[in-house]
Amino acid sequence: MRLIAPHIRRAVVIGKMFEFKAAELATFVDTLDGLGAGMYLVDPGGRLIHANTAGNAILDARDILSSVGGRLVASDPQVDRTLRDVFATAGQGDAALGIRGIALPLTGREGDRYVAHALPLTSGARRRAGIVYTATAALFVRKASLAVASIPGAIGSAFKLTPTELRVLLAIVEVGGVPEVAMAFGVADSTVRTHVSRLFEKTGTARQADLVKLVAGYTTPLAG
């Protein structure tokens, strides 16, 4: 027993290490699945190592991206060639691709526009963030639109906006300028201008474009 005991203790320690890594991996995957953007981990050949929930939804639509033989493929041939080069370059290290990666535009069949951002995962904390070490690049894909559904409360609280002022602010982002908002609300232009003036005062902005930028700063990366 004295001879066997050390081996048993070692086996228990190793087992606990595996359990910890499995729990750590599960937490990491759950976090990725909470993102609103599609996220893919790929190897230098573009082979899919992992896709989050939003990423799988994009693949299932087979509009801008799809999985062919386990490899991530873009519907646009030119974009696909670029991605192949990006993934291969990422495998050569951060210096080859740049620590900030690159961004690529994608367009769906119905004209919907997306932005894909490729980031190398070949050194330091980025490498440790990969689920497995064969992943050398991460690709984030999101629709090129301003998502505001989950942020009104935060903006209203931050700038002490009234419910009407908040509605006008969001309408400026989603509908357009004063005439368009007034028509959508069925009120006079002057009424909307009054609310816009109060928005300028409370938010410290001076133009409607600044209000749009303000809302953009409060967008969430999490899935709605």
| One-character DSSP codes across 55-86 | HHHHHHHTSSEEEETTEEEESSHHHHHHHHHH
Is residue 26 scored above 70 in pLDDT?
A: no
pLDDT tens readout for residues 142-197: 887 665 545 677 888 889 999 999 989 988 888 888 998 898 889 999 999 999 99
Cα separations (Å) of 222 from 13, 53, 59? 36, 12, 19
Burial readout 77-115 (b: 16 or more C-beta within 10 A, e: otherwise): eebbebbbebbbbbbeebeebeeebbebebebeeeeebe
* pLDDT range class, residue 206, cuts 50, 70, 90: very high
Predicted pLDDT at 121: 79
Cα separations (Å) of 109 from 114, 115, 143? 12, 15, 13
Residues 6 or more apart in contact with residue 167 via CB below 8 angstroms = 185
Burial readout 120-146 (b: 16 or more C-beta within 10 A, e: otherwise): bbbeeebeeebeeeebbbbbbbbbeee
Cα 180 from Cα 159, distance rounded (Å): 24
pLDDT tens readout for residues 59-113: 999 999 999 999 999 999 999 999 998 888 876 654 555 555 688 889 988 888 8
pTM here is: 0.59
Where do the domains of the chain lie, and which CATH numbers do they carry? 28-143 (3.30.450.20), 152-217 (1.10.10.10)
Contacts 24+ apart (CB under 8 A), 211-215: 211/169, 211/172, 211/173, 212/146, 212/172, 212/173, 214/155, 215/146, 215/148, 215/151, 215/155, 215/169, 215/170, 215/173
